[in-house]
Homo-oligomer: A and B are copies of this chain.
Amino acid sequence: MAVYTDITDAELEALLARYGLGEPLAFKGIAEGVSNSNFLLETEAGRFILTIYEHRTPEEDLPFFLGLMRWLGAHGYPSPSPLPDREGEVLQRIGGKPAAMVSFLKGVSVRRPTIGHCREAGQGLAELHLAAEGFPGKRANGLGQSDWIPIFSVLHDEAERLKPGLAGEIDEDLFKLALAWPRDLPTGVIHADLFPDNVFFLDGKFAAAIDFYFACNDILAYDLGICLNAWCFEPDGSFNVTKAQSLVAGYESRRSLSSAERDALPLLAYGAAMRFFLTRLADWGATPAGALVKPHNPLEYESKLAFHRAAKGQLQLFGTASA
């Protein structure tokens, strides 16, 4: 849930005037995305999503995010397209915060993806990688492998509070990941946060991807590693190999993985588990008692991390994936 910023009548009126969209027919705060405030706006001209960027989305990166979304839209990828105002500007300002209007997309996210959803999500991810090819913007991944050791350096106590003995295990993980992290796999623009709540389906088919505010340049197959963690673990913590194979097969139906990419997937998923564990651990410790937003419990990703640690990056999960 996320509506952090309220909008005054005058601000809404001024915004509509800048776009020439006429009178509002509906305007509702919606619970979509966790970092920013989102509103569903309907006017005679159609339906739009208004996003107000809160402090978690770095303002200097907005041109990259909005430029990417515009590029993807222009290349036929189903993602929210930023709407230029009458002067051609996509970046607005509301209540002192940056904001943008994007197209409304139909579709419904699923809480518990099926094998079929995993296949569709994999396909949607590969299509994103292909559609983004040639996009000239660049953004380094601020939460990439080289950032994990510095991020964890201030979280030792937090990790020990979560589970005594955990800090030492994480240190070992970080060391292993740093040594083994692949350096020569194909890179490109990745979504970096394609969790089930960021994918819309229509009638069981992939319909759209949203929330591009972690997108960056990194190893393409790492994006698939992120999805393996986000889509293929069951609520009881078990890893569903069939879903994993389906996700990868869906991906490969659009973009083939090299054998180096396929071999690296268990390790990339191990690293992806580390990345989400670390930010959730940081949020968990940093959230004051009275906050309006409940942070994700870091234990979910601690358990995924433990799964990959035990697998030692050696599991042949995807032997049949490209069959």
Q: Which A residues contact B (CB, under 8 angstroms)?
A: 1, 3, 6-9, 12, 23-32, 40, 42, 106-112, 202-203, 289-294
- Bound state CA distance, A94 and B289, in angstroms? 30
A36 to chain B, nearest CB (A): 14
Measured CB to CB, the nearest residue on chain B to A49 is B28
Nearest chain B residue, comparing its CB with the CB of A10 = B112
CB distance B1 to A112 under 8 Å?
A: no
Let me know if A25 and B107 touch, CB within 8 A.
yes
A218 CB to closest chain B CB (Å) equals 30
- How many copies of this chain? 2
Sorted nearest first, the 4 A-B pairs with minimum C-beta distance are A29-B31, A27-B108, A24-B108, A28-B30
Q: Which residues of B contact A6 (CB under 8 A)?
A: 111
- Give Cα A8–Cα B109 distance, bound, in whole angstroms: 11
Q: Judge whether B42 and A106 touch: CB under 8 Å.
A: yes
Q: Which residues of B contact A3 (CB under 8 A)?
A: 1, 31
A31 to B26, CA, bound (A): 13
Decide if the interface of chain A is mainly helix, strand, loop or mixed.
Answer: loop
**Contact A292 B289, CB 8 Å, known A29-B30, A202-B23:** no
Is B112 a contact partner of A9 (Cβ separation < 8 A)? yes
Name the B residues within 8 Å of A109 (CB-CB).
27
C-alpha spacing A294/B8, complex, angstroms: 19
Q: What would 20 A/B residue contacts be, using CB atoms closer than 8 Å?
A: A1-B31, A3-B31, A7-B111, A8-B111, A9-B110, A23-B203, A25-B202, A26-B108, A27-B108, A27-B109, A28-B30, A29-B31, A29-B32, A30-B30, A30-B31, A40-B40, A289-B289, A289-B290, A290-B291, A292-B292
Bound CA span A24–B289, Å: 37
Determine the chain B residues whose CB is within 8 A of the CB of A9 once the complex forms: 110-112
Look across to chain B and name the residue whose beta carbon is closest to the beta carbon of A32. B28
- Give min CB distance, A202 to chain B, whole Å: 7
**A1-B1, A1-B31, A23-B202 known, 16 other contacts, Cβ within 8 Å:** A1-B3, A6-B111, A7-B111, A9-B111, A9-B112, A24-B108, A25-B106, A25-B202, A28-B32, A29-B31, A30-B40, A40-B40, A42-B106, A292-B292, A292-B293, A292-B294
- Write the nearest CB–CB distance from A49 to chain B, whole angstroms: 10
Nearest CB to that of A39 among chain B residues?
B31
Say whether B1 contacts A28, CB under 8 Å: no
The residue among A6, A9, A40, A291 with the most chain B CB atoms within 10 A of its own CB is A9
B42 touches A28 (CB 8 A): no
Residues of B within 8 A of A27 (CB): 108-109
When C-beta atoms are compared, the residue in chain B nearest to A207 turns out to be B25
Known: A1-B1, A1-B3, A9-B112. A26 touches B290 (CB 8 A): no
Q: Does A29 contact B8, Cβ atoms closer than 8 Å?
A: no
Collect the chain B residues with CB atoms within 8 Å of residue A293's CB.
292
Closest chain-B Cβ to A145's Cβ sits at a distance in Å of 33
Contact B107 A26 (CB under 8 A): yes
